[in-house]
A and B are shown apart, each in its own frame.
Chain A
Amino acid sequence: MKKTLRTIIVEDEELARNLLKEYLKEIPSVQIIGEFADGFSGAKAINEMKPDLLFLDIQMPKLTGFELLEILDYKPKIIFTTAFDQFAIKAFEMNAVDYLLKPYSRERFRNAVDKVYEQMKTGQEIPIAEITKHIDRSGEKLERVVVKSGKKISVIATREIDYLEAQDDYVMLYCSSGKYLKQKTMNYFETHLDPKQFIRVHRSYIVNVDQINRLELYEKDTYRIHLKNGSTVPVSKTGLKRLKSGLDF
C-alpha cells in the first residue's frame, strides 16, 4: 500500500483543474485537500496545510508559480503544469519533480506521480532556501519582488522601491507604501535589479536613481544622497564612481 499523498492544486483554469482531478481519480493514494485559482490563496493554504504534493501552474493572476515558491516556508514535492515550455529549465533548477506540458496524457501524468513516489523512497530532501537560490541564475531583470511578513504577502513593483538597505542576512526595501524585509542578499539585488535604475552607492545601500533629489558633500570626501522622500543615504568612494558613470556627471 502506497503512502497517501496529501495534495494541493494551484491552477487558475477550472477545466485544467478538472482534468487533474479526473486523472487523479484512478490514483487513490493521492488525496486532494485543496484547490486554488490564484497564487495568493494557494501560498497561504500550502503554508497552513503543509501538503505532500503540489500541482502548480506558472502563469496565474496575482502571483506566478515561481513567485509562489519564493514565499513558501514549507516545501512540498512539486509538479509544474503549464503551456509554457521555456520555463522547464528554471523549474528543474527549482527541483521540481516533473514538468507537465499542457496538454498532457494520462500516461504522462501517471508517470509524474510515480516519480514523486520514487523520490520519496530515495529520500532526497532539499531545503527550500536551496531551491529558491537557484532562481538567481536566470538572467532576466527583476520587475517585482514578493515579500511575506507574518501572514501578509505583498507584491512590490521594483520601480516603486526608493532604496534598499542591508540588514544582516536580510535586505530592507523602502517604498512609499512602507518598508519590507526580504531574505535575500545585497548582491542578489545588485545583480538582478535593472542597473540603469538601481545603483549600489554603498556596501549597504542601493538607490533608485529616479528617487534622488540631490547629492551633497557631507564631510570632506564623503557624500550623501538626499532622496525625494526626505531620507538620506551615505555614499562610499566606489559608490560615487558608480553614480558618476551611471548618471553621466
Chain B
Amino acid sequence: MHPILKHKTSRLYFIMAWILITAIHVLVLSFFYRVEISYALVDGIIFNVILAVIAIGLWYPVKFMRLGENRKIGLVLNYLGVGVLTITIWLTAGYFIVEMILGEDNEHITFLDQSMPWRVVSGVLVYLVVLLIYYLILYYSDLQEKVRLEADLKTLVKESELNMLKSQINPHFIFNSLNSINSLILADHQKAQDMIIKLSEFLRYALKYNQKEKIRLNDELYNTNLYLEIEKIRFGEKLQVEIRIPEEYGTCLIPNMILQPLIENAIKHGVYESIETVKIEMDTQVSQDCLNITITNNFDPEQPGRKGNGMGLKNVQNRLMLIYNRSDLFSWETDGTVFIARLSVPYEV
C-alpha cells in the first residue's frame, strides 16, 4: 500500500537519497563548522534516520486527509499541526539519542543547542518536500488509474454494444423458420433439407463473425442471401428480391452483419405487414471514397400505428458510429409507399 515500501526499486531510491542527505549533513558539519568527524557522523546518522522514518510515516496523514477531502483552510491547519508535531518529535528524539550516545558534558551538545533554529528550518523544508513528493505520487497514480478506467470503460462499452447488436437476429425468425421446416418435412423432404442447410449456414455466420468487424461485400451478400432465401421459402411469391451489385465491388470491406438488419427491417415492415407482393431492391455505387448501398422496399401505407424505424435502424447507425466514428453514414426516408435506406461506408479493399 505504501508507495515507497511497495516496490524494491523505490525502497532502494529512498535509502540512497537518505544516505546522500546524511553524507551532505556530515560533510557540512565537519567542513564548515569544524565538528569532529565522529561527532558529525553520530549527528548526521541519528537525525537523518529518524527523519527518514518520519518521512515514511507521513504518507498516512497525507492519504487520510485526502480521503476526507477537507476544505482548504482545514487542510492547511491539519498540515501545520502534523508539521509542528513531526518536527518536535524529530528534534526531541534526535537530541535525546545524541545526548545519550555522546554524554551530557560533551562540547558537541553545546553545538547542538546553538544549531537548533537551523535544524527547525531544515526540518520544515524536508517536511514540505516530503509532502510534495507524496502529492505528486498520488496525482500520478490517480492519473494512471483514470486512464486505465477510461480504457476499460471504452472496451466494455464497445463489447456490450457489439453483443447487443449481435443479438439482433430475431428469435421469431428462427422459430418461424423451424416451423416451416416442420411443415416441409411432411410435404417435401428435399425442400426441408435445403432450408435446414440454409438456416444452419446463416446462423453459423451470424454467430461466428461477431468478433471480426469487417468482411468482404461478397461474403456479406452471400449470407444476406441465405437469410432472404429462407424468408422466400416462408413467404413464397409475396417476397421479391433484386440485388444489383457490380462484381468489382465484391472485394470492398464492410462491417459484417450490417446489411442483414436492413433487410430484416424491410421484411418486417414490408412483408410481415402487407398482403401484397413486396419487392426489396439493393443497389451500389462508389462516390467520394465511399461505397454507397441503397436498399428499398415497398410497404403498405394503410398500415397505421406500429412503431416503424425502431431498434434495427438505430443499431446500424450506432454500429457505424462505433466503427468509423461518423454519424453521417446512414440515413433513411419514406417516399410514398417506398422505404429507402442509404448506407455508405468508407471505401476499403
Contacts and interface: CB of A to CB of B under 8 A. Distances in A.
B32 interface: no
Contacts of A15: 179-180, 183-184, 187, 233-234
B176 A22 contact: no
B30 interface: no
Interface stretch (B147-155, B241-249, B300-308): B300-308
B233 A102 contact: no
Contacts of B184: 15
Interface stretch (A70-78, A150-158, A201-209): A150-158
B307 A143 contact: yes
Given A15-B184, A83-B172, A83-B179, A158 B275 contact: no
Given A59-B272, A156-B304, A19 B172 contact: no
A194 B304 CA distance: 16
Contacts of B235: 13
Given A13-B234, A155-B305, A157-B305, A83 B272 contact: no
Interface residues of B, number: 27
A235 B136 CA distance: 68
Interface in A99-141: 101-104
B187 A61 contact: no
A68 to B, nearest CB: 14
Nearest to A158: B305
B275 A62 contact: yes
B304 A144 contact: yes
Contact of B175 (A38, A103, A143, A155): A103
Interface in B211-233: 233
A102 B234 contact: no
Contacts of A59: 172, 272
A212 B125 CA distance: 75
B203 to A, nearest CB: 16
Contacts of A104: 179, 182
Contacts of A12: 272
Contacts of A157: 304-305
A12 B178 CA distance: 16
Interface in B107-160: none
Interface string A72-104: 000000000001100000000000000001111
B103 interface: no
Contact size range, A = 20 to 34
Contacts of B272: 12, 59, 61
B183 A143 contact: no
Contact of B176 (A14, A18, A83, A158): A83
A178 to B, nearest CB: 14
A61 B172 contact: no
Nearest to B305: A144
Contact of B179 (A16, A61, A158): A16
A64 B181 CA distance: 23
Given A37-B275, A83-B176, A103-B178, A143 B303 contact: no
Contacts of B274: 61
Given A14-B236, A143-B305, A157-B304, A19 B275 contact: no
Interface of B: 171-172, 175-176, 178-184, 186-187, 233-236, 272-275, 300, 303-307
12 contacts: A13-B180, A16-B180, A18-B187, A19-B186, A22-B187, A61-B273, A62-B275, A103-B175, A103-B181, A103-B182, A143-B305, A144-B305
Interface of A: 12-16, 18-19, 22, 37-38, 59, 61-62, 83-84, 101-104, 143-144, 155-158, 160
